[in-house]
Amino acid sequence: MKTYIALFRGINVGGKNTLKMKDLISLMEALGAYNVQTYIQSGNAVFQSLKERTQLSEQISLSIQKQFGFAPLILVLDQAEFEKAISENPFPEGESNPSSLHLGFLARPPEHPNLAELDRLKSESEQYHLADRVFYLYAPDGIGRSKLAAKSEKLLGVPMTDRNWNTVMKIHILVNHY
C-alpha cells in the first residue's frame, strides 16, 4: 500500500465549492482509500491506497462532481515526490517565516514557461525556482501583493495549487504518521 497526498484547489473558498472534510473522507474511503486524514478546510488529504497515483485524482474529482456538483483540480503526489519537494527547497531562509515561502505544485512539468515575464514581474525581494513539478516562491515582503504570485500559474502554462511552508510542514507531519 502506498501513501499519497491529495491537494485540492478551489474548495471551501469564499463560500463556493463547499465540501466538508468528513464528507471528503467518506468519499475517498468509498473509492478505496485507507487511513484518510485531512488538514484544514481548504483541501489537503493524506491517505493510503493500493491504486496507482494516475488513477486517483480523476476518480476523486469525478466522484466530487457526481455527489457535490463541482469538479476541483486535484493533484495527487506520492510520498517520495512530496518529500523531494521539501528536501529540495532552494530557499531555506524562508522556513523561519513560513507564510513567505510557497510551493506551487504543478499538474505536470511546464513545457514552455515564460521565464522572462516571471523575471520581469518579480519584485526586488522575491525569488523563485522552478523544479520539475514544483514552483518555489519566496516572497519575504508578503504574497498578497505579489504580482509574481498572481500571474505565475498563467506564465507557467500549467494548472497549479499553492501551499505555504507552514501547510507543507503540517502535511509532512501527517505523512510521517504512517
Q: Give pLDDT, residue 25.
A: 95
Q: Which of 49, 66, 81 is the last residue of a domain?
A: 81
pLDDT tens digit at each of 178 positions of the chain: 999 999 999 787 777 888 999 999 999 999 999 999 999 877 899 999 999 888 899 999 999 999 999 999 999 999 999 999 999 999 999 999 999 999 999 999 999 999 999 999 999 999 999 999 999 999 999 999 899 999 999 999 999 999 999 999 999 999 998 7
Are both 16 and 60 inside the same structural domain?
A: yes
Q: Which of 61, 81, 101 is the last residue of a domain?
A: 81
The three grid cell numbers given for residue 21, joined into one nine-digit string: 472534510
CA distance 177 to 153: 32
Are both 63 and 95 inside the same structural domain?
A: no
Q: Which amino acid is at 177?
A: H
Are both 76 and 107 inside the same structural domain?
A: no
Write phi, then psi, for 32 (nearest 5 degrees): 100, 15
The tally of CA atoms less than 13 A away on the side-chain side of residue 35 is 15
Are both 95 and 53 inside the same structural domain?
A: no
Are both 100 and 57 inside the same structural domain?
A: no
Are both 54 and 98 inside the same structural domain?
A: no
CA distance 156 to 111: 8
CA distance 20 to 111: 35
**Helix axis angle, 165-175 relative to 79-87, nearest 10°?**
140
Task: Name the residue range of residue 99's domain.
Answer: 88-175
pTM above 0.85, yes or no: yes
Are both 125 and 106 inside the same structural domain?
A: yes
Give Rg (Cα) of the chain: 16
CATH of residue 115's domain is 3.30.70
Total count of domains within the chain: 2
Please check whether residue 167 is in contact with residue 118, taking contact to mean a CB–CB distance below 8 angstroms: no
Are both 15 and 64 inside the same structural domain?
A: yes
Q: Which of 57, 81, 105 is the last residue of a domain?
A: 81
Q: Give pLDDT, residue 101.
A: 98
Are both 94 and 152 inside the same structural domain?
A: yes
CATH of residue 23's domain is 3.30.70.1280
Give the closest residue to 38 by CA, choosing from 175, 163, 162, 160.
175
